[in-house]
Amino acid sequence: MGRTHRNVTIRDVAKAAGVSKSTVSLVLQDSPKVAPKTRERVWAALDKLGYIPNAAARTLAQGRTGVIGLATVNFNQKLTERIYFSGIMGALLEVLAEHKYHMMIYNAAVPLQLAVDGMLFLSVNVDHPLVDQVKRARLPYAFLNRRTTDAETPYVSHDFAAGGRLAAEHFIELGHRHVGVLTWRPGIPPHKERLAGFQGALAEAYGGGATCTVIEATDLMPAAGYKGAMRMLSGPARPTAVFVSNYELLPGLLDCCRDLSLRIPGDLSVICFDDPWAAGAMDPPITVVRPASEEVGRLGAELIVSLVEGRQGRPAQTLISPRLIVRESTRPFDHRQ
């Protein structure tokens, strides 16, 4: 019997497999109550008939949709093309699939309308209106890359302040006192925390004996990185080391250094936050603070699944530390400079 164009029902599958409709439903729910041979017979019938489970019917039967929402304020940006987010999203999809959940990206600017089992907020502030709507709907939720002092709010986040400290401490070890930070939107939590960690480490090491020039790029395009770097590096009091807080700004800084005939690391030491493959392939290879993006995605997926399925007790709050990867773009300060 070949596949037909009409919708195949559970009744059709049950008849073909010689079992009851309830047995077919148990197989579709992956229930352990069905004997292995019976399960094989049902799956053979499902495949032969081309049965496609009806999501709405499954929702009514199980009380769940099998869908986890991923709300983001960056809905209009190409998230998978943003280096910072791609690792998180890849791990989310992989782990949710292991637990038999789908992921739907949701525009945080739009009131909640879609049925989901739980919601992950990716780089969404804790006071966003959608958060309150999800709470009122009593949906399980967790934050990714947003911290909160509320002990009842679950989150998984990079330790952004630690990332800034790592960069500053490396410059301090190399003897740099006049440093710069090239950033974007320094008021949003991850960038604010990175900058605070960086400046805090400088203050602890030098007190008032160091200078830190902070330049804000207008956007994350290379041209904005170039303009910001030119403002920082073209004057007589240029820093001897720069922390690039967003990887997307790095190409602009490198172009600026070439145009100003500044050698890296001979004239300028450079550290960048994030570690795409290109950073290690540049000339020179770039020293980076590497965030564990895949780990944030993996733990975030495990957290929301445990909340949805009622296996999570006290809300989990997890900070994941980054690593400093030292390459060839940093060197000790030359006092002859």
Read off the pLDDT of residues 90-142 as tens digits, 9 standing for 90 and up: 999 999 999 999 999 888 877 776 778 999 999 898 999 889 888 888 889 99
Q: What integer is the mean pLDDT of 287-300?
A: 95
CA 89 to chain centre: 6
Q: What's the number of domains the chain is made of?
A: 3
Looking at the fold, whether 148 and 51 belong to one and the same domain comes out as no
Asked whether residue 173 falls in the same domain as residue 233, the answer is: yes
Distance CA 96, CA 119 (A): 12
Please check whether residue 330 lies inside any domain of the structure.
no
Length of the chain: 337
Does residue 335 lie in a domain region? Answer: no
185-208 pLDDT, tens digit each: 999 899 999 999 999 999 999 998
Residues 135 and 39 in one domain: no
Tell me what the mean pLDDT of segment 241-255 comes to.
Answer: 96
What rounded mean pLDDT belongs to the chain?
A: 88
Whether residue 139 lies inside any domain: the answer is yes
Q: Give the global pTM.
A: 0.79
Query: Do residues 108 and 189 both lie within one domain?
Result: no
Between residues 3 and 122, the one the model is more confident about:
122
Rounded to an integer, the average pLDDT of 213-236 is: 95
167 and 286 inside one domain: yes
CA gap 32, 318 in Å, rounded: 33
In a domain, 336, yes or no: no
**Which residue in 332, 293, 333, 298 sits closest to 163, CA to CA?**
293
Q: Which of 74-83, 205-214, 243-252, 281-290 has the lowest mean pLDDT?
A: 74-83
Task: Give the range among 9-18, 166-175, 189-198 with minimum mean pLDDT.
Answer: 9-18
On whether both 198 and 251 belong to a single domain, the answer is yes
* 82 plus 140 within the same structural domain: yes
Whether residues 149 and 104 share a domain: the answer is: yes
- Asked whether residue 305 carries a pLDDT value surpassing 50, the answer given is yes
pLDDT band for 11, please (50, 70, 90 cuts): confident
Of 312 and 219, more confident: 219
**Domain limits for position 16:** 10-62
What gap in Å lies between CA 32 and CA 322, rounded to an integer? 41
**Do 24 and 133 fall within a single domain?**
no
Residue listed under structure tokens 């910001």: 228
d(CA 146, CA 125): 7
* Domain assignment present for 41: yes
Pairing type for strands 178-184 and 211-217 reads parallel
Q: Kindly state whether residues 50 and 103 are assigned to the same domain.
A: no
Here the CATH number for the domain that contains residue 35 is 1.10.260.40
Assess whether 138 and 206 both reside in one domain: no
**Residue 180, C-beta contacts closer than 8 angstroms, at least 6 positions apart:** 212, 213, 214, 215, 232, 233, 238, 239, 241, 242, 243
- Structural contact between residues 269 and 168, judged by C-beta atoms closer than 8 angstroms: no
Residue 305 lies in a domain: yes
- Residue 226 belongs to domain with CATH number: 3.40.50.2300
Residue 130 located in a structural domain? yes
* SS3 assignment, position 289: strand
Residue 329 resides in a domain? no
- 136 and 208: one domain? no
